[in-house]
Every structure is written in C-alpha cells, then in structure tokens.
Amino acid sequence: MPVATDKPWLRITGGDGSEAEILDQMSRTISQITDFEKLLPPGSSIERVSSEQVDGVTTTRYDVVADIEAVLAQAEEDEQRQAAQAAQQLGLTTLNYSVWLDADNLPRKAEMVSPTPGGRTTMRMLFSDWGEPVELTAPGPDQVQEVDASQLYG
C-alpha cells in the first residue's frame, strides 16, 4: 500500500506486532542517545558518511547496518533480541538506518528505509530544540494516513 506523500503523519494499525516492535526499539534507542556507539545493536557496523546541514545545524551523518543474525547471537538485552526476531520474521537480514548527530552528539535526524511488497518505506524523524519545554498537538485527521502494518512488509 503506498503511503500518501501529502500526509506527513502515519498511523500504523493491525499486523502481528513485529512491525511495532522494530519501530518501538528504534525510537527508544534514539530517544536515549548519550553515547551513540553504546546504543548500537551488537554486530552493527557504523560508517561516518559526510557533514550535512539539518534544519540549519551542522551535523555528521552516520550510516548503520545491523546484521540480524549477529544481533540475535550477541544481544544481551531482551529488547534488542525481540526487535531482531521481529525483523527476522519479516524476512529482513539487516536493519539499515542513518543518524545525523550535531556537535554535542545529539541526534538531529534519523532515517530508516525498509523493503515492502510495493517497493520501500522510509521512516524519517527530525529532532530539535533539545532541552526546551515541549508542547504537543495531535495532527488533524487530514494530516494522518492510516495503514495496516501487514501491508508495510512482505
């Protein structure tokens, strides 16, 4: 199922929970960043790619590849093992994502591209205003596309 490009928010429903476990693990990992390399799953490789601007802030882009078999063999935390098992159930052999860190090693952007039956799905998160108070407003229905999780992955 293609995701509408005119709706910036996605609500994922249904599925067997595998998709949610992967997204949940990734978001918790990113939100807890203090030492980026310590948070990488075991068996991950990281490559410094380039210096890029994200929302006017100079960042360094890192590409990460997590080998699912290595994560399963080496993971000490249940959450990492569960996320790897969920990815394996979806037929993935690696998790590939990019993270852009600023001069304080705080994430400014994270992006994960996953294969789907119709091509690929991109999940992009932007981070800003670190340490500032947060006020959240839920997006209106016209800004949200609802997608069944089973349609995101083959």
Q: Could you read off the pLDDT of 111-153 as tens digits, one per residue?
A: 887 766 667 778 888 988 888 998 889 899 898 888 776 665 5
Residue 30 pLDDT more than 60? no
pTM of the shown model: 0.63
Averaged pLDDT of the chain: 78
Q: What is the pLDDT of residue 1?
A: 45
Contacts 24+ apart (CB under 8 A), 72-80: 73/42, 73/43, 74/42, 74/43, 75/41, 75/42, 76/42, 79/25, 79/28, 80/25, 80/41, 80/42
CB 43 within 8 A of CB 73: yes
Q: Please tell me the predicted confidence (pLDDT) of residue 86.
A: 79
User: Where along the chain do its domains lie?
Assistant: 9-128+147-151
- For residue 132, which phi and psi values (nearest 5 degrees)? -90, 155
pLDDT of 18 above 50: yes
- The pLDDT value given to residue 83: 77
**pLDDT tens, residue by residue, 65-81:** 888 888 888 877 777 77
